[in-house]
Structure 1
Amino acid sequence: MNYTTYLFDFDYTLADSSRGIVTCFRNVLTRHGYTEVTDDDIKRTIGKTLEASFSILTGMTDAGQLAGFKAEYRKEADTHMTVNTMLFPETKSVLTTLKDSGARIGIISTKYRFRIKELLDQHFPADFMEIIVGGEDVKAAKPSPEGLLLAIKRLHVSKAETLYIGDSTVDAETAQAAGIDFAGITHGVTTVKELEKYPHRKIMSTLEELPTIQEEHSSYSRLKNSSCR
């Protein structure tokens, strides 16, 4: 079976929002005296929930204080996030090619859905994405498979025809938990070696490699089916 559905992570997969994320974290952390945290420390938490990220960066575990940090971050993001987020150079052409070929495409992210749409609406028609599942749409954040499973249910597609593409080990864990094929992309700070520890169809340096995954998948499926005869 060919892939008919491509579901993507957002940050460091389709777009580079690291400048905005670092700015928002930096402003909140500095306000509370956490001045030793580096930009790389912050970038390593991209893809996790805000509460988890702040806990990692500060050592804080109190739920009330972490919720306060999250609220401050959201206010910072209203000003700094979208203006400091850019699609990767190949994102628009790759997504358009997939769409034109009849594939269904969507996004599963811990980022808020409205924040994702703020950027996408600058580049694509309003109905371009089949589905966007953001952090506000699930009870359990990645690596829980809830978001992925919700998407394939709403799209009425099978796991076998779905590929999830992401940049982090959290994304790899999410796909594994959902029972969905995974492709890694090294746009972010996670290395090939780190991603290769998880089941995957391919680890890519650019989204332009997606068509080769489809070809490899089709060849694998034909070989598997012929060996069963």
Structure 2
Amino acid sequence: MSYTTYLFDFDYTLADSSQGIVICFKNVLKRHGYTDITDEAIKRTIGKTLEESFSILTGITDGVQLTSLRKEYTKESDQFMNRNTYLFEDTLPTLRKLKEQGAYLGIISTKYRYRILDFLKSHLPEGYFDIIVGGEDVSHPKPDPEGVLLAIKQLNVRPEDTMYIGDSTVDAETAAAAGISFTGVTSGATLADELKQHPHINILSRLYELVDK
């Protein structure tokens, strides 16, 4: 089946931001006495909201505390995130080929849109993406389908012509909730067997397999 629209997760799908994420989390966690949390544990939370991630890592459930931790993380991100984030080698060739085919391209992420845009300015030619929906653009984060449905509406495309590509089970759940196709990519911390437990068109080991035909 061919698609007119490809919507991507950002972290661990288009770019490896794990180094920046780990630095920011560890700076905040150490400040509050959490010194034994591993890099791998932090990476396993990528794709969730910051509040969810901090709750998983610390056991904190109080909303006020979690909001405070999120605000501290955001300040750390302003300093450390984008300079420790890198496009995957396959990203630009994949996007270029999709653009040549006339496809709409979008990003749906829990990461703030302004931070994604700031990163893309330095790493991709202007205008590659037709829409970017970040964490500040929705009331309900993934796996709620709000962001995906917003993109579909604004692009004026059909759900059946749209594919969502992501690296996590949260991304798979988001696509299912939106009623669109999902392709998983194992460039993140989620194993292929975990992704296969959700409805999917394909599970890729590298992003370029999406267009390598």
TM-score between both structures, scaled by the size of structure 2: 0.98
Superposed displacement of residue 95, structure 1: 0.4
Aligned match of 2:140: 140
1:158-206 alpha-carbon deviations (Å, 9 max, x no partner): 0111000000000000000000000000000100100000000000001
Superposed displacement of residue 54, structure 1: 0.3
Task: Determine if the alignment matches structure 1 residue 5 to structure 2 residue 12.
Answer: no
Superposed displacement of residue 100, structure 1: 1.6
Superposed displacement of residue 123, structure 1: 2.2
Q: 4+ residue stretches of structure 1 with deviation over 4 A?
A: none
Task: Determine if the alignment matches structure 1 residue 50 to structure 2 residue 50.
Answer: yes
| Matched length | 213
Describe how 1:184-199 pairs up with structure 2 within 5 A. Answer: 184-199=184-199
Aligned match of 1:21: 21
Matched to 1:97, the amino acid is K
Q: Which runs of 5+ in 2 are unaligned?
A: none
Matched to 1:32, the amino acid is H
Q: Do 2:94 and 2:211's aligned partners in 1 also have CA atoms closer than 8 Å?
A: no
| 1:160 match: secondary structure | helix
| 1:75 match: secondary structure | helix
CA distance in 2, matches of 1:193, 1:50: 25
Aligned match of 1:71: 71
Superposed displacement of residue 125, structure 1: 3.0
CA distance in 1, matches of 2:208, 2:27: 35
Describe how 1:1-229 pairs up with structure 2 within 5 A. Answer: 2-211=2-211
Matched to 1:170, the amino acid is V
Q: Which runs of 5+ in 1 are unaligned?
A: 216-229
CA distance in 1, matches of 2:207, 2:184: 9
Superposed displacement of residue 93, structure 1: 1.0
CA distance in 1, matches of 2:189, 2:128: 28
CA distance in 1, matches of 2:178, 2:102: 24
CA distance in 1, matches of 2:62, 2:138: 22
Q: What RMSD, in angstroms, separates the aligned Cα atoms of the two structures? A: 1.0
Superposed displacement of residue 146, structure 1: 0.4
**Mean alpha-carbon deviation: is it higher for 33-42 or for 120-129?**
120-129
Q: Percent identity?
A: 62
TM-score between both structures, scaled by the size of structure 1: 0.91
Matched to 1:166, the amino acid is G
CA distance in 2, matches of 1:124, 1:26: 29
